[in-house]
Amino acid sequence: MSTNNARAFRRKANPDDPPTQRPPRGPRGPMPGPNFRGLEGRIAIVQGQVFLLAVILIAQLAIVTDALFELLSGRADLLGWLALASGIGFALALVIVFWPRRRIDER
C-alpha cells in the first residue's frame, strides 16, 4: 500500500469530524483562511483534557481542604504527604495540557 492510500485510510479520533484542509502558507508560515476548521479529532482531545483537569481540580481542592484542617488541628505529620500529592496532581495537569499538542505547520 502506498503512502497516499495509507493516508486515505488513516483512523480518526472522531470519525464525525469534517474533512480538513491545511491553511494557505505565507512567507512566515500558515495564514488564516476561511477553509481552516482545525485538526482532526481536536474537539475530542480538548473535551478529554477538560474532563481530566476538572477531576484534578476537584482532587486538589480536597487535598488543600484536608491540609488546612490538619494544620489548624495541630497535626502537621501529614502535610508533607499532602503537599507531595498536590505536586503530583499539578505535574499531571501540566502533562495533560501540553502532551497532545500538535503543530499545524509541516516540519
Distance CA 24, CA 64 (A): 48
Q: Which three cell numbers stand for residue 17?
A: 469530524
| pLDDT range class, residue 44, cuts 50, 70, 90 | confident
Whether pLDDT at 34 is above 70: no
Residue 107 lies in a domain: no
Element (H, E) at 25: strand 25-26
What percent of the chain has a predicted confidence (pLDDT) above 70?
63
Specify if 62 maps to a domain. Answer: yes
Backbone angles phi, psi at 18, to 5 degrees: -70, 160
How does residue 11 score in pLDDT terms, banded at 50, 70 and 90? low
Report if residue 105 sits inside a domain: no
The structural domain count of the chain equals: 1
Owning domain of residue 76: 3-98
Q: Is residue 88 part of a domain?
A: yes
Look up the pTM and report it: 0.57
